[in-house]
Structure 1
């Protein structure tokens, strides 16, 4: 099972996360009880769950009315919450909530240039924000979503200006921008604040992997959490739970056009980039401006290797720029290397077979090239014959095991 948090239409706020999780089926009574327990030191709150129609979509809205609070220091907030923890709050959920507040505090510290111990929470220090965070963490664990991989789609930030205690300020808020600095985001689609610091902090602590598009899922179920504003589109956060038909991983794609690089340099580039850690390298003949023939260099890399291999491409080719497509997810088969001994021209040879599976079903097999090449040289026969006979021997071996 996998989980997808989808804030690409209407952004994300703390109460939207809470509402979407309740809409997805989290225990309402347990969630409300935990919220009331944790907020009791900060004043009385009134929690009302209602079904709203947002742009034609039925969604849950958690309306929380709380007394206005003065600012509170981060360290004091954490101390109060730790002393308040009830038995029904899972340890993992409590740790998640503490990480959310730490994310908020670190962002505020960087933005205002103060130490973490000196951070004051203003808007997020009120009882309603504590209720959003603690309730969301409890509901997340109540649904057992912590046991599944969580994907995050790009976050809609909104735009324009908003009034604060410090005067007019651009949207997104500085703390929101700081929290989401390493995640895929997009501006608009309205001149309103769609993503709040609390929503952003919940998002980065819940998500395991970011992606541009929804992974392939079956047996989907969605929860819709309504925001406060009425917009010209559904103002909802969507959280989806479903089964993934194929395993996925995350990669980045690097591309550049080359039209003034010699064949010798291009030939050496393959080995150089693979040695640098590229997952795959391909060169595609293209016709460039002024009808010049050239090549499109496309390199698949792990996200953490993006900058290093981009620099290697620039140094090796002299290109003026490398296009980066980050947060690309790919569906992959489960892979296994199976050793095989098979008879070839009266001799028994050992070769490794790469096997791709979906569950227990074998989808694809491929004898290891280097093993096949060495056997072909030894036996003085074409490599294609070695590959063909090894493949046949493997499937015969598999069929015999299934019969037994």
Structure 2
């Protein structure tokens, strides 16, 4: 699978995430277009800097700070001509920020007032980062992060002097898979960066990987690097085979149903057996450690007197996960189990039985409902 790792060894800011994506999935022209599309009152420039002998890109955004309510920020994004997926993810990130502010200040998150994170520069950072990350995701990348350095001490904000990390930052981290570590001077992880990384990253990658490219970005006094690479998952399996030439179709159907409960996969192929007799080759795939247990079941259910166990050195497997997503069809909302695999690019498939149930409830043809579900997930 393709992986993108944010290495926050000295922290992360929204502008640093954007800069790390320059030359990877963002261009300077993209940044100008985002400012124009959102009618933001900011000036943006890109420069190179050297920190600790490392050349890094820096995005400098300057503009007037402005307090905004959560609903105002959402309206700015929603009323723009941004890509629909960018709008959706950007709004979700600001909702994370608003919910954190709501908890910290004891108010309804929908009435949250953004101070630093509601300014034009923060909106620019979020939308720019989301644009670049979605482009990588469409190429099949999944996102991870190393433990991110938080900083230490205190920082002055509109509410006064607060400890580092800021309470809102901690609240965002509480509901994420990110790992963090104290250390360093000042605020090294900002609420905006915490919200962006929490939204996209799956935690710390535990698998070996190969490095394809590295992009360095700089904040005022820290570095962030984005590592693009690949990693492969594999496991050990066995293929089990037996040939049956004296079982009825009904018995074979029942046997395959029972075998399926233990096997990773099972199929039956018509073959010509000894003495020219028609037969069925039953082939099942199972974890190596379950091969004998499944072989015993196959013999019990088919009447076979032997099962061939063929160990496989290893097989490459696509990363996969299952989610429950909500879709709306004909004004009704339904929960659909969705299987997502990453054989190179993300492949999304709804659970067939769930789609079938929706078609039955709506009294609509299954192919029509399937297409509607695919458009909505």
Equivalent residue in structure 2 for 1:371, among 270, 295, 308: 295
Is 1:99 the equivalent of 2:92?
Answer: yes
Equivalent residue in structure 2 for 1:171, among 155, 164, 170: 164
| Equivalent residue number for residue 208 of structure 2 | 216
1:381-400 equivalence runs, <5 A: 386=306, 389-391=308-310
Equivalent residue in structure 2 for 1:68, among 51, 62, 65: 65
Aligned residues: 280
Rounded to whole Å, the distance in 2 between the matches of 1:6 and 1:199 is: 11
**Deviation digits for residues 291-324 of structure 1, max 9, x if unmatched?**
xxxxxxxxxxxxxxxxxxxxxxxxxxxxxxxxxx
1:4-403 equivalence runs, <5 A: 4-40=4-40, 43=41, 45-69=42-66, 71-83=67-79, 85-86=80-81, 89-145=82-138, 147-182=140-175, 183-207=177-201, 209-211=202-204, 213=206, 215-218=207-210, 220-229=212-221, 235-246=222-233, 336-337=265-266, 353-354=284-285, 367=291, 369-372=293-296, 375=299, 386=306, 389-391=308-310
152-161 vs 130-139, which moves further: 152-161
Could you tell me how far 1:162 is from its partner in structure 2? 1.7
Judged with a 3 Å threshold, the aligned counterparts in structure 2 of structure 1 residues 211 and 54 are, in CA distance, closer, same or farther, namely same
**Deviation digits for residues 204-246 of structure 1, max 9, x if unmatched?**
1222x21254x333361222221111xxxxx222222223333
Could you tell me how far 1:79 is from its partner in structure 2? 1.5
**Deviation digits for residues 40-80 of structure 1, max 9, x if unmatched?**
3xx3x1111011122232211101111232x1111122113
Could you tell me how far 1:202 is from its partner in structure 2? 0.6
Could you tell me how far 1:350 is from its partner in structure 2? 7.3
Judged with a 3 Å threshold, the aligned counterparts in structure 2 of structure 1 residues 376 and 146 are, in CA distance, closer, same or farther, namely closer
TM-score, normalised to structure 2, is 0.64
Instruction: Answer yes or no: is the 8 Å Cα contact 2:8–2:225 preserved in 1.
Output: no
| Structure 2 runs not aligned, ≥5 long | 236-263, 314-377
Rounded to whole Å, the distance in 2 between the matches of 1:236 and 1:338 is: 53
| Structure 1 runs not aligned, ≥5 long | 230-234, 249-334, 357-363, 396-404
| Equivalent residue number for residue 242 of structure 2 | none
TM-score, normalised to structure 1, is 0.60
Judged with a 3 Å threshold, the aligned counterparts in structure 2 of structure 1 residues 391 and 11 are, in CA distance, closer, same or farther, namely same
**Deviation digits for residues 177-211 of structure 1, max 9, x if unmatched?**
0111133433333132111110011111222x212
Judged with a 3 Å threshold, the aligned counterparts in structure 2 of structure 1 residues 68 and 380 are, in CA distance, closer, same or farther, namely closer
Instruction: Answer yes or no: is the 8 Å Cα contact 1:161–1:169 preserved in 2.
Output: yes
Rounded to whole Å, the distance in 2 between the matches of 1:140 and 1:130 is: 15
Q: Secondary structure at the match of 2:22?
A: helix
Could you tell me how far 1:131 is from its partner in structure 2? 1.1
Could you tell me how far 1:11 is from its partner in structure 2? 2.0
Could you tell me how far 1:23 is from its partner in structure 2? 4.0
Rounded to whole Å, the distance in 2 between the matches of 1:151 and 1:127 is: 27
**Deviation digits for residues 359-385 of structure 1, max 9, x if unmatched?**
xxxxx797452333673899998xxxx
Rounded to whole Å, the distance in 2 between the matches of 1:336 and 1:218 is: 30
When the two chains are superposed, the root-mean-square deviation of aligned CA atoms in Å is 3.5
Instruction: Answer yes or no: is the 8 Å Cα contact 1:365–1:391 preserved in 2.
Output: no
Instruction: Answer yes or no: is the 8 Å Cα contact 2:298–2:304 preserved in 1.
Output: no
Judged with a 3 Å threshold, the aligned counterparts in structure 2 of structure 1 residues 377 and 80 are, in CA distance, closer, same or farther, namely closer
Instruction: Answer yes or no: is the 8 Å Cα contact 1:140–1:146 preserved in 2.
Output: no
